[in-house]
């Protein structure tokens, strides 16, 4: 689907004007967008104070209104996201927006604990942190604002967002629409804020601001490192490179379909999406044949090298500091192709295919850059190995210790257990597309902030709370 940039700009302007017109009583119209970081933080701080005075029941009403607004605008935000960032598929982003709106947990996620006995009652409650700085990616712009917005407010916080500059309008419109819904439901203005011109400098100022109590980074390794070095409580949700392992016991046709469905979802932008396939040799040909039946286009020989020249850029680096040996090659992903349609990517090497082709597959050696790099596009390398032990060893290696996501197709419980234990990922999906791991076609809640590096796992409201203990001695134990 091609979207006119002018049309998107017009829609964004209309939405912003509508929100501003309805809420003229504060500097930002209550819609959360400010010129400076100081203003954005101060407004969020004031909003959080008001939120604290509301009951949990009222907080849940605000969440309900946010969910409704996100669902009502799921298509608009999907269209904006694809048009502005130039990445992804509108129909899949609609699913992601609705998923974030409906399956992000609310206040029910906050659980109290109690001890009672001879000496009275001790209670642990989950209280808000205060104002959270949330840094969001270009790959899931509206999805992450919806998900983190719901989860952080459910926990009683206000949020200052630092969106990726390449998805600025989509992120800011999402913030405005959610604020508008909150205000309409009787909540305070500016519970979600951001600056009008997001930048690295603004993000750094936000991170250092004394009134930001907690940082949450959803993005690549640089931003995760940045928040973890900040001296504040930080949640880091970083990069993945999820392998999909297939052994000889799997239902090969289903595995092929699931892998193509998962890897092509939103053009491979999700951090959980299948990024490489590792298959036991005896079933490799069958798997690749079925993958082609379910929407993959197979390339081989010189076409693989030509594709590599298009989607990768080459960097020369010294093998080690002070080393006098020849520089070794390393590769970076050409951002122009991140999140693009398979059809477009293939056209760059002169191959024309119909829209029904959703992924490009090719057989490669284990050390190929398509396997090693997190491509984030529907180009899926397939590596053959001799047996399950070799598959597990390679899967652990190419996941790079991110401990993010792995997928396996197998009917052998011992093999499944062996990989799960060895790879130690936050998400391990068995016999399904990767997105089952975030609640699409699988059980459980969703999140778009999967915190492997700092260990919260699939974040939910309770991840954004502080535990507080209240002790009453010699009373209120009634047995
Ligand atoms: P990115 O790291 O380029 O940007 C993410 C955010 O961090 C942006 O807002 C950006 O402006 C900011 N940022 C980047 N470097 C920074 C620095 N040094 N200091 C401060 N802020 C900085 O990532 P992206 O391209 O937007 O998103 C894709 C990456 O994010 C992939 O690696 C993907 O795996 C990862 N991701 C992870 C999750 C998760 O839940 N674990 C979710 C989505 C995306």
Catalytic residue positions, numbered: 271
Tell me which of 100, 201, 219 to substitute to probe ligand 1's pocket, judged by most ligand atoms within 8 Å of the beta carbon: 219
CA of 298 relative to ligand 1 center, distance in Å:
31
pLDDT score recorded for residue 30? 74
Tell me which of 37, 85, 137 to substitute to probe ligand 1's pocket, judged by most ligand atoms within 8 Å of the beta carbon: 137
CA distances from 2 to 76, 88, 315, 423 (A): 14, 12, 33, 40
Protein residue with least CA distance to atom 20, ligand 1:
223
The pocket around ligand 1, CB under 6 angstroms, is made up of: 135-140, 162-164, 200, 203, 218-220, 222-223, 226, 237-240, 271, 374, 448-450
**Strand positions, DSSP E, 238-337:** 243-246, 276-280, 296-299, 312-317, 328-333
What is the mean pLDDT, run by run of 10 residues, along the chain of 479 residues?
Answer: 56 56 49 97 98 98 98 98 98 98 98 96 97 98 98 98 97 98 98 97 98 98 97 97 98 98 98 98 98 98 97 70 59 96 98 98 98 98 98 98 98 98 98 98 97 97 98 92
CA of 451 relative to ligand 1 center, distance in Å:
12
Convert 166-192 to b/e letters by CB count within 10 Å (16 or more is b).
Answer: bbbbbbbbbbbbbbbbbbebebbbbbb
Going 34 to 39 to 40 to 45, the CA torsion angle's sign is: negative
What's the first-to-final CA gap in the chain, in angstroms? Answer: 66
| Residue that has been written with the tokens 């399956």 in this structure | 103
User: Which ligand 1 atom sits nearest the alpha carbon of residue 204?
Assistant: 20
Protein residue with least CA distance to atom 17, ligand 1:
223
User: Which ligand 1 atom sits nearest the alpha carbon of residue 140?
Assistant: 43
Q: Are strands 457-458 and 450-451 parallel, antiparallel or unpaired?
A: antiparallel
Q: How far apart are CA 226 and CA 329, in angstroms?
A: 27
């Amino acid at each position: 689907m091609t979207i006119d940039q002018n049309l998107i700009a017009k829609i964004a302007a209309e939405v912003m004007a509508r929100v501003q017109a309805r809420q003229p009583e504060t500097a930002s119209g209550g819609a959360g967008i400010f010129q400076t970081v100081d203003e954005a933080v101060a407004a969020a701080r004031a909003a959080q104070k008001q939120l604290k005075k509301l009951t949990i029941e009222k907080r849940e009403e605000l969440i309900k209104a946010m969910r409704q607004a996100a669902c009502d605008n799921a298509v608009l935000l999907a269209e904006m996201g694809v048009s502005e960032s130039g990445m992804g598929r509108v129909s899949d982003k609609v699913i992601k927006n609705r998923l974030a709106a409906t399956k992000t947990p609310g206040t029910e996620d906050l659980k109290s604990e109690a001890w009672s006995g001879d000496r009275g009652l001790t209670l642990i409650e989950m209280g808000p942190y205060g104002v959270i700085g949330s840094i969001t990616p270009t790959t899931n712009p509206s999805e992450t604002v919806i998900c983190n917005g719901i989860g952080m407010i459910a926990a009683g916080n206000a949020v200052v967002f630092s969106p990726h500059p390449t998805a600025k309008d989509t992120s800011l419109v999402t913030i405005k629409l959610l604020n508008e819904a909150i205000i309409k439901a009787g909540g305070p203005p500016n519970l979600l804020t951001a600056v009008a011109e997001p930048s690295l400098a603004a993000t750094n100022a936000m991170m250092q601001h004394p009134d930001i109590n907690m940082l949450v980074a959803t993005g690549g390794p640089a931003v995760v490192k940045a928040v973890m070095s900040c001296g504040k409580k930080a949640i880091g949700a970083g990069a993945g490179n999820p392998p999909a392992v297939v052994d000889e016991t799997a239902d090969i046709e289903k595995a092929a379909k699931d892998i193509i469905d998962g890897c092509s979802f939103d053009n491979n932008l999700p951090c959980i999406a299948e990024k490489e396939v590792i298959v036991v040799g005896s079933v490799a040909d069958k798997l690749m044949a079925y993958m082609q039946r379910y929407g993959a286009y197979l390339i081989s020989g010189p076409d693989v090298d030509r594709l590599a020249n298009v989607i990768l850029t080459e960097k020369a680096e010294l093998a080690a500091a002070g080393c006098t040996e020849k520089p070794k090659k390393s590769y970076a992903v050409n951002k122009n192709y991140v999140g693009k349609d398979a059809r477009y990517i293939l056209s760059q090497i002169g191959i024309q295919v119909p829209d029904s082709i959703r992924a490009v597959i090719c057989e490669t050696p284990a050390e190929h850059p398509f396997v090693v790099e997190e491509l984030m596009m529907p180009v899926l390398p397939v590596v053959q190995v001799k047996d399950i032990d070799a598959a597990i060893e390679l899967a652990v290696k190419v996941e790079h210790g991110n401990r993010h996501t792995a997928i396996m197709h197998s009917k052998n419980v011992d093999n499944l257990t062996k990989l799960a234990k060895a790879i130690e990922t936050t998400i391990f999906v068995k016999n399904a597309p990767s997105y089952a791991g975030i609640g699409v076609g699988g059980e459980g809640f969703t999140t778009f902030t999967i915190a492997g590096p700092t260990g919260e796992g699939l974040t939910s409201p309770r991840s954004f709370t502080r535990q507080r203990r209240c002790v009453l001695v010699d009373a209120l134990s009634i047995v």
